[in-house]
Amino acid sequence: MFSQISILLLLLLCANTFHRSTCDTNLQLLCNEKDRYALQIFKLGVVNHSNMLPSWSTEQDCCAWKGVHCDNTTGRVTRLDLHQQYLEGEINLSLFQIQFLNYLDLSLNGFTTLSAPSPTNITFSNVHFLDLSFNEDLHFDNLNWLNQLSSLKYLNLSQINLQNETNWLQSMTLHPSLIELRLASCHLTNISPSMKYANFSSLLTLDLSGNHFVSELPYWLFNITTISNIDLSFNLLQGPIPKSLLSLRNLECLKLNDNEINGSIPEWLGQHEQLQYLGLSENMFHGSIPSSIGNLSSLVELGISSNLLSGDLPTSLGQLLNLKTLFVGGESLSGVLNEYHFSNLSNLEELILRASFSFDLASDWIPPFQLKGIILRNANIGPNFPEWIYTQHSLEYLEVPNSNISSINGDLFWRFVANIPQVILSKNTISADLTNITLNSLIIFLDQNNFTGGLPHISANVILLDLSFNSFSGPITPLFCHKLGRENILDYLDISSNLLSGGVPDCWEYWKHLSFLFMQNNKLTGEVPQSMASFPKIIILNLSNNSLSGNFSLDLSNLKKLEYINLRGNNFSGSVPTRMPHGMEVMLLGSNQLEGNIPPQLCNLSSLIQLDLSHNKLSGPIPPCFSDIPSWAGAQRTIHYPFQINLYTKGQELQYRDYGLLRTLELSYNNLSGEIPPQIFSLVQLQTLNLSRNHLTGKISREIGSMKNLESLDLSSNKFHGEIPASISSLSFLSFLNLSNNDFAGQIPLGTQILTFSASSYAGNPGLCGAPLPINCTEASGNGNADGSKQHGGSKGEGFETDSLYLGMGVGFAVGFWGLLGSVFLNKTWRHKYIRFLNHVAGQLHVFVVVKFNGLRGTQASFV
């Protein structure tokens, strides 16, 4: 017995010793030196600002480096996964010299260049997975470096610029083993629509969405009999869906949404019994939705929309047992939906209908589904809020905008929506008093209804709240000064266009997370408290069109994120506020009582693109330092949050949704004096310049022709004199011009653009002549203008030299003229015939010019 136990212990000891020996062997395996060298070459080109690769050092074995995976037996590198590590710089394809590398993922980084080794050093036939997607600043002129990847099965280059690679399809067909190919948003333009075959014998997934293909669906696509997933959405594809689509019998996913595909939705589409995802929304289909769609029993997601579709929604859709998402939309779709449309949709999770459907459902109808989301936009589901929606207890979003709802069951409704994260009731006619209601959803849109009473309370959960365009009244203090149980996270608040009154509360310290605050178009009064300067995250502040008063003395310079401030249409007094953040882009202070000079400190706002100081009491000169503002003087245009702006330009108040493209300077209706600084005419990016209704003097510099982007110019009702410079005719984008009520003299310059403006643009300048005014220029005053000798200004000496030159030219011309035609005028008969001929030509020319100019004016008006 003892001997047996001894033998057993000995065996266990040997086994344990062998195991430790084996483990020790594995632990001692080192990264292959060639693999380490290739990884180090790659790291040399990587810019690692975030220090996401601290382990990539010579002190550690490369198999322990972040993202590196080695084979447990051989120690050779087989995988490198560095996706979303905030890496920048260069991708050096020396990585592909790692002999056993089969998986490489560098997606979701910021690489900008790619460096490939010489073809003689390439030995990377084992790579079968390559993902470089979402390196948005990475550009490839060609894909030749992929040619040696004979084993490639998965390739994702989405969000990489391939616009210079016109033969991308031919390059991809060199990889017949590809199973999944993703080239989404690569700026591709050529899809080779006439190409018959593409050598994709193994391809299952093809994603070419978000490119710029302008053609019909390509022939070669329908010969890839293995394919099961096709995504061609967000392109410009045209033409009908060809019947050859039926040859793709394995098709499970077809996404053609957001294109320009036309024709009817084919009835035979119902034969694709394997189809699970069908996206046909946002196209140009016409006709009706075929009932055969109801035969697609495997469908999980269905999206169909087109403004040219008409008719009813077929009841056969109610038979799609597996359907989880239903999206149908179209301005011309109509009809009545009843219980048969939903009878068997027990798995439905999202119901999205954007059409004027009506509902004929029993008041006690209980749907067979429990939805996560409802969107019924532009539907006729009113006047009462539908009772069946109260049966949905798992909703994450409820959107019923513009759906003719006027009545809600107050207590029941607000209890029901309190647990729904996103609620949108915009553009209905709901009348309800919300004074004692507490809103709890994360996102709430109640705008453009008839809600009354005081502003509702909100919980600390609310992130976005829009109560604009209602009939809320009373003070705003109860909303803002109501202490919550914990710190609120409200980011966006819009209470504009109501009947709110009283003062601005002094309790903004509770709203540290506000980024967007809209309180315009109310009846607010009093001064603005200093606590309003305590928004560390504020981007937009709009207090316009109230009755606020006092000095706007807030120090906003520490609000580093503030880009837009609108104080127009109030009674603010004092000087123009200057304590603004340097990132300020839009500053609208018009229609107040501001006095004093325009402060030169505004020129330090390097990001300023729109400045409105109109309708104030400002005096003094225009600061010449405006030319120091980069965004007006020639800097590239930047894109920002879309500002909604009412801008007085082109002679009228227009509403713009500006994404950072507008450049405007509005100083009208003040008491400004002096000349326009010549530097103003160097603002080449400015689109609107309005200096009207001031006391400005001097001449317009001929450098005005440099303002190539100018669209609207208003210098009316000032004291400008001299001639209108001829260079103004080179402003090809100019669509509004008002120089009226000044002291301009001389001939109005000729030019295609200038001639499109009516006489009202020049009225009130007695010294002006020429078209379009009815005053013809005299021969004496017209010569100088006609040849441009006076329109370019200059000193007296320059004028004398120019006059002498023209005098000599005139004498030479006279000698030649009389030498050839003197005999005509000496002969009375010939002279009479010649004068009649000239009169005839002049008449014909006058008719031609009038017709053409009227045509130009009409064309211009049609575009404005």
List, for residues 410-439, the tens digit of each pLDDT value: 889 999 999 999 999 999 999 999 999 999
Asked if the model's pLDDT at residue 620 lies above 80, the reply is yes
Q: How far is CA 128 from the centre of its chain?
A: 37
Rounded to 5 degrees, φ, ψ at 522 are -130, -160
Residue 161 pairs in a beta bridge with 139
* pLDDT at residue 487, rounded to an integer: 78
190: exposed, middle or buried (C-beta count within 10 Å: 0-12, 13-18, 19+)? middle
pLDDT by residue (tens digit) across 63-92?
999 999 999 889 999 999 999 999 999 999
Asked if the model's pLDDT at residue 474 lies above 60, the reply is yes
- Neighbouring C-beta atoms of residue 59, cutoff 10 Å: 5
* pLDDT at residue 121, rounded to an integer: 54
pLDDT by residue (tens digit) across 153-172?
999 999 999 998 889 999 99
Asked if the model's pLDDT at residue 622 lies above 50, the reply is yes
Asked if the model's pLDDT at residue 566 lies above 60, the reply is yes
Average pLDDT value over all residues in the chain: 84
pLDDT tier, 604 (very low <50, low <70, confident <90, very high otherwise): very high
Q: How far is CA 339 from the centre of its chain?
A: 41
Query: Higher-confidence residue: 803 or 475?
Result: 475
DSSP output for 537-601: T--EEE--SSEEEEE-----TT-TT--EEE--SSEEEESPP----TT--EEE--SSEEEEPPPGG
* pLDDT at residue 6, rounded to an integer: 45
Q: What is the mean pLDDT of residues 507-517?
A: 88
* pLDDT at residue 646, rounded to an integer: 61
* pLDDT at residue 852, rounded to an integer: 38
| CA–CA separation, 524 and 689 (whole Å) | 31
Asked if the model's pLDDT at residue 859 lies above 90, the reply is no
315 Cβ neighbours under 8 A, 6+ residues apart: 291, 294, 338, 340, 341
pLDDT tier, 19 (very low <50, low <70, confident <90, very high otherwise): very low
DSSP output for 464-495: EEE--SS--EE-SHHHHT---SS-----EEE-
Asked if the model's pLDDT at residue 724 lies above 60, the reply is yes
* pLDDT at residue 41, rounded to an integer: 92
Asked if the model's pLDDT at residue 637 lies above 90, the reply is no
Asked if the model's pLDDT at residue 27 lies above 90, the reply is no
Asked if the model's pLDDT at residue 861 lies above 50, the reply is no
Share of the chain above pLDDT 70, in %: 82
**Do residues 792 and 702 touch, judged by C-beta distance below 8 A?**
yes
Query: Higher-confidence residue: 843 or 617?
Result: 617
Q: What is the mean pLDDT of residues 800-806?
A: 37
Q: What is the mean pLDDT of residues 117-134?
A: 76
pLDDT by residue (tens digit) across 310-348?
999 999 999 999 999 999 999 999 999 999 999 999 999
Segment among 63-67, 145-149, 157-161, 775-779 with least mean pLDDT: 775-779
pLDDT tier, 363 (very low <50, low <70, confident <90, very high otherwise): confident
* pLDDT at residue 650, rounded to an integer: 57
* pLDDT at residue 122, rounded to an integer: 54
Indicate the DSSP class of residue 380. Answer: B
pLDDT tier, 648 (very low <50, low <70, confident <90, very high otherwise): low
* pLDDT at residue 638, rounded to an integer: 56
**Do residues 500 and 524 touch, judged by C-beta distance below 8 A?**
yes
Asked if the model's pLDDT at residue 832 lies above 50, the reply is no
